[in-house]
Amino acid sequence: MTSSNVTWQEGALQRAERWQALGQRGATLWLTGLPAPGKSTIAAVVAAAAAVLDVLGAALRRRRSR
């Protein structure tokens, strides 16, 4: 799946190097849906659960266009 407004940007480490340094593989969980059904709450709970399991995780939120 591709999107015209999402682009890949290379980092200082290649993906395989980052995975090896962290001892884990990367994954993305993308939540979509109508406003207010709890996507941000779910993302925060998943990030907190990842931290408890000592897995690197983050919840990022895009501000709606005005």
pLDDT tens string 52-61: 888 877 777 7
- Reported as a pLDDT band with limits 50, 70 and 90, residue 15 is confident
- Map residue 2 onto helix, strand or coil: coil
Residue (of 58, 54, 59) closest to 24 by Cα position? 54
- Reported as a pLDDT band with limits 50, 70 and 90, residue 66 is low
Q: Is residue 20 part of a domain?
A: no
Residue 2's CB is within 10 A of a number of other CB atoms, namely: 5
Number of domains, the chain? 1
Structural domain for 39, as ranges = 35-66
Q: In this structure, what is the dihedral angle of CA atoms 26, 3, 1, 59, given to the nearest 10 degrees?
A: 30
* Alpha helix (H) residue ranges in the chain: 15-22, 39-52
Q: Is residue 45 part of a domain?
A: yes
Separation of alpha carbons 4 and 9, rounded Å: 14
